[in-house]
């Protein structure tokens, strides 16, 4: 209940209500001892309510209405001799804490004018009397610019501290985000290492019996009589499945074994051209009508990379993009220079307009053995990620289901 009430009523609202309630209940008598004008308590009450409503009606509107009410209050309470002159500090403080220097100066000048305008209501005799009290008049008017300056300085200091705190918070959030990404990379690397060791051991253990099965199947195929078509067909199935399993084990070993990079300085655009030419030659089926658009930046410097492994990365990404894209669509390969935490880098983006990736799968697509394809084993992107990591780069994906995906490979530019 109290938390809901605090959304509508601030603690200072009670202070304003009490202050102006007391002023309205006990208005100041005039200097000649006569009672105050009956409209004075109403104006004081209106000022109190206005202070409470300031967040809802806005600072500018509040200041304008306060100046009008102050003008009326002074007019009904002895004008230039009013005892309520300090209420002019309300619009001055509001302006100095909410506006810049120009707004503060304009509000302060307006507040002084609201008070000094009553000098024009005096006749010559009254002006001679005022001359004797000019020190009091100067002091009253001086309060406004002095309080405005001090409030403005304090507000500026608070704003500067707020800006520094917001900048520190933003920097902390960015650092925390990078830390989380680094932790995720470490966890993924640990999983890859563990799975790699397991896969390597298992693959070596499987290859020996597979070799025996392959030899036995070939022997059976040669020895069985030609009339026994079923046996010969079964032997052929065994041999084909052994070959498929052997191919899968080879992929496992490619994933598990450490890559020995043969780094050479080369032209990234030429490498991508070779990959795209290969894709154009080998595409078939629904992918035959898919075209590739090149969007290379001309300022990409020569890079150090293992051409054979890096070709494998982009062949895999192009193949995945083609499988996700509808017939007749376009895949874009784009390069550009980017700034990274370590310095300069080159971003190679493979952009498709296909089915996209579901958010729940986005964080797992680079994990080994994760796949959404019915005939996939989930090693393609895991191997891609490993090759990019060993080049000192990074890979990320942005995707919207139904609109497409953007795979971004960032390679470092080493001086």
Residue 237: give its domain's CATH number.
1.10.287.130
Strand partners, 295: 334
Best CA proximity match to 267, nearest among 298, 294, 291? 298
Do 408 and 305 lie in a common domain? yes
Do 228 and 290 lie in a common domain? no
Burial class (CB in 10 A: 0-12, 13-18, 19+), 355: middle
The kind and range of the H/E element at 295 are strand 291-295
Do 243 and 191 lie in a common domain? yes
Do 184 and 69 lie in a common domain? no
Task: Kindly report the number of other CB atoms within 10 A of residue 60's CB atom.
Answer: 14
The CA distance from 230 to 225, in Å, is: 10
Strand partners, 293: 332
User: How far is residue 342 CA from its own chain's centroid?
Assistant: 20
Summary mean pLDDT of the chain = 81
Q: At what angle do helices 134-223 and 89-98 cross, to 10 degrees?
A: 30
Strand partners, 264: 305
The more confident residue out of 268 and 24 is 268
Specify the number of domains making up the chain. 3
Do 19 and 115 lie in a common domain? yes
Best CA proximity match to 115, nearest among 136, 97, 94? 136
Task: Kindly report the number of other CB atoms within 10 A of residue 107's CB atom.
Answer: 26
Number of residues in the chain: 415
For 219-269, list the strands marked E by DSSP: 264-266
Residue pLDDT, tens place only, 280-323: 888 887 778 889 999 999 989 999 998 888 998 999 999 989 98
3-state secondary structure of 371: coil
The kind and range of the H/E element at 238 are helix 229-256
Do 104 and 184 lie in a common domain? no
Q: Does pTM surpass 0.75?
A: no
291-295 and 330-340 beta bridge pairing: parallel
User: Which tokens sit at 61?
Assistant: 């509107």
Query: Do 192 and 248 meet the contact criterion of CB atoms below 8 Å apart?
Result: no
What local confidence, expressed as pLDDT, does residue 40 receive?
86
Do 124 and 198 lie in a common domain? no
State which of 132, 152, 167 marks the end of a domain. Answer: 132
How much is the average pLDDT of 176-184? 81
Domain that holds residue 224: 177-256
- At residue 190 the predicted structure's pLDDT band, cuts being 50, 70 and 90, is confident
């Amino acid at each position: 209940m109290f938390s809901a009430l605090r959304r509508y009523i601030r603690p200072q609202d009670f202070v304003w209500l009490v202050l102006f309630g007391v002023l309205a209940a006990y208005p100041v008598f005039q200097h000649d001892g006569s009672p105050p004008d009956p409209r004075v308590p109403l104006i004081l009450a209106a000022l109190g309510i206005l202070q409470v409503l300031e967040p809802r009606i806005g600072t500018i509107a509040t200041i304008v209405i306060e100046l009008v009410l102050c003008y009326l209050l002074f007019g009904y309470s002895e004008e230039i001799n009013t005892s309520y002159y300090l209420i002019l500090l309300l619009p001055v403080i509001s302006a100095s804490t909410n506006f810049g220097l120009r707004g503060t100066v304009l509000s302060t000048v307006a507040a002084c004018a609201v008070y000094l305008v009553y000098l024009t209501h005096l006749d010559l005799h009254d002006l001679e009397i005022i001359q004797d009290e000019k020190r009091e008049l100067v002091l009253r008017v001086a309060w406004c610019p002095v309080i405005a300056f001090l409030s403005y300085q304090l507000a500026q200091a608070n704003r500067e501290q707020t800006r520094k705190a917001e900048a520190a918070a933003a920097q902390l959030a960015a650092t925390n985000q990078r830390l989380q990404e680094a932790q995720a990379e470490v966890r993924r690397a640990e999983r890859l290492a563990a799975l790699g060791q397991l896969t390597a051991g298992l693959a070596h253990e499987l290859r020996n019996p597979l070799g025996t099965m392959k030899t036995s199947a070939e022997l059976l195929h040669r020895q069985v009589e030609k009339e026994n078509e079923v046996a010969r067909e079964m032997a052929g199935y065994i041999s084909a499945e052994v070959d498929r399993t052997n191919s899968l084990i080879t992929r496992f070993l490619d994933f598990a074994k450490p890559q020995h990079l043969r780094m050479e300085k080369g032209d990234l655009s030429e490498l991508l051209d070779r990959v795209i030419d290969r894709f154009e030659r080998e595409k078939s089926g629904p992918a035959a009508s898919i075209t590739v658009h090149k969007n290379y930046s001309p300022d990409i410097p020569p890079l150090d990379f293992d051409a054979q492994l890096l070709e494998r990365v982009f062949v895999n990404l192009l193949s995945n993009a083609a499988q996700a894209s509808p017939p007749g669509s376009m895949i874009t390969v784009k390069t550009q220079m980017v700034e990274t935490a370590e310095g300069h880098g080159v971003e190679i983006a493979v952009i498709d307009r296909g089915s996209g990736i579901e958010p729940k799968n986005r964080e797992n697509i680079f994990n080994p053995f994760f796949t959404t394809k019915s005939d996939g084993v989930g090693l393609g992107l895991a191997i891609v990620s490993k090759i990019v990591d060993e080049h000192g780069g990074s890979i990320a994906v942005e995707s919207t289901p139904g609109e497409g995906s953007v795979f971004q490979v960032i390679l470092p530019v080493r001086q």
